[in-house]
């Protein structure tokens, strides 16, 4: 079940400049920054009520964010929903005909397991599912708990 709009992912070119801008816009500082090796992104998070703004800058040419910004302007990159059971939700969406971009949940930022739905099957919007998880035993380079173990 989807339980919350967890975050909006915003693709930015200059993370420091974007952080300063959103700090002024939202009137509050970010609560965390995190590098996610497996996604080749640096992230900055702001809490806004029950949801978050996730600023994303690519750290390599292969990063989805770098590729996105080669074709599109800075702005909304994806919409992320909190789910209570990501494996069950992935199975439900597959059965509904959505195209999932990963076969298993993988490491996201901010202690989440995540899965992406292809924008081609979701009305032109890249959708992320997130389930809160304890990832302390997962090395940062590993995409899935299985790889880390
Ligand atoms: C920090 C970790 C995590 C978290 O915890 O929150 C994150 O948020 S990581 C965020 C970055 N990672 C990802 O986005 C992973 C999932 N994305 C992908 O696998 C790819 O980006 C993609 C969606 C499959 C697109 O890759 P690719 O096919 O190589 O790109 P194209 O440029 O060829 O695009 C194909 C098609 O899709 C449209 N597109 C691409 N990105 C988006 C987007 N963000 N939103 C909407 N549409 C998008 C693109 O316009 C093309 O459309 P058509 O031209 O109509 O075919
Ligand atoms: Co995200």
Q: What is the pLDDT of residues 11-29, one digit of tens each?
A: 999 999 999 999 999 999 9
Identify the nearest ligand to the CA of 106 by its number. Answer: 1
Distance CA 66, CA 137 (A): 29
Q: Whole-structure pTM over 0.90, yes or no? A: yes
Q: Kindly report the protein residue whose alpha carbon is nearest to atom 42 of ligand 1.
A: 126
- Please report the ipTM that was assigned to this predicted complex: 0.98
Q: Give me 142's structure tokens.
A: 């590993």
Q: Which atom of ligand 1 is nearest to the CA of 116?
A: 16
Between 134 and 46, where is the model more confident?
46
Cα pseudo-dihedral 12, 15, 17, 19, rounded to 10: 100
Q: How far is the CA of 80 from the centre of ligand 2 (A)?
A: 6
Q: Which atom of ligand 1 is nearest to the CA of 67?
A: 32
Identify the nearest ligand to the CA of 126 by its number. Answer: 1
Average pLDDT of every residue of the chain:
93
Average pLDDT of span 55-84: 98
Contacts of 77 (CB under 8 A, 6+ apart): 9, 10, 11, 56, 65, 68, 126
Predicted local distance difference test score (pLDDT) of residue 149 = 34
17 by Cβ neighbours in 10 Å (0-12 / 13-18 / 19+) ranks as exposed
């Amino acid at each position: 079940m989807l339980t919350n709009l967890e975050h909006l992912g915003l693709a930015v070119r200059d993370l420091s400049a974007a952080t300063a801008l959103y700090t002024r816009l939202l009137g509050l500082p970010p609560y965390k920054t995190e590098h996610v090796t497996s996604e080749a992104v640096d992230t900055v998070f702001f809490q806004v009520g029950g949801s978050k703004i996730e600023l994303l800058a690519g750290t390599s040419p292969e990063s989805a964010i770098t590729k996105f910004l080669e074709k599109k302007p800075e702005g909304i990159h994806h919409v992320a929903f909190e789910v209570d059971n990501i494996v069950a939700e992935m199975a439900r969406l597959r059965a509904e005909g959505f195209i999932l971009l990963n076969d298993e949940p993988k490491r996201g930022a901010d202690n989440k397991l995540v899965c992406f739905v292809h924008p081609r099957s979701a009305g032109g919007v890249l959708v992320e599912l997130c389930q809160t998880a304890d990832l302390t035993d997962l090395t940062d380079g590993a995409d899935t708990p299985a790889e880390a173990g």
